[in-house]
Amino acid sequence: MNLRAKIYIEKQKKDAEAKLASRLTFLKEKGMKPEALQKDATLRRIKAIVRKAETRLAAIRAQEKLNQERAQAKVEKLAAKKAAREMALKETVEEVAEKKPKKGKKEKAEKEVKPEKKKEKKEKKIEPESPPK
């Protein structure tokens, strides 16, 4: 149902109810019995217009409620996504803080020592070759 048509449908219903009331007063002044009022074609037609308007307004209300629920669900979904993102960011920050510090100077010293040993071995090899006798 067209949600923008709500205003027009409400106006139609209001007009139809006014016509219904005026028609009822006219027929009662004329002296018609309740059984005869039920058979009046104009009265039935006006009641049908009121019923149609009520049905249409009910459909519009249902659509508005559905749209409101969708909007609320969308807001909740975005909020949940944002909260999850913040939690993930918070966890990564905590993990970085919890990590052990790198082995600094000791590791570097050990690496430097190893290549020196190799150099010494190379130097030993070079020394015996140099004195030819």
pLDDT at 97 over 90: no
Percent of the chain with pLDDT over 90: 55
Torsion sign, CA atoms 37, 42, 48, 51: negative
| Higher pLDDT pick, 123 / 51 | 51
Q: In the predicted model, what is the mean pLDDT of the chain?
A: 83
Residue 105's pLDDT is: 59
Q: Give the domain ranges of the chain.
A: 3-129
| Higher pLDDT pick, 94 / 20 | 20
Alpha carbon 61 to its chain centroid, in Å, reads 21
pLDDT at 4 over 60: yes
Rounded to an integer, what distance in angstroms lies between the CA atom of residue 33 and that of residue 36? 5
- Neighbouring residues of 53: CB distance < 8 A, sequence distance ≥ 6: 9, 10, 12, 13, 16
pLDDT at 69 over 60: yes
Residue 96's pLDDT is: 74
Q: Which residue from 25, 24, 68 is spatially nearest to 47, judged by alpha carbons?
A: 24
Q: What is the pTM of this model?
A: 0.59
The answer to whether 85 and 30 are in contact (CB under 8 A) is no
Vertex 112: Cα angle to 109 and 115 (nearest 5): 150
pLDDT at 121 over 60: no
The two tokens of residue 56 are 């249409």
Rounded to an integer, what distance in angstroms lies between the CA atom of residue 34 and that of residue 31? 10
Torsion sign, CA atoms 70, 76, 79, 83: negative
Residue 91's pLDDT is: 82
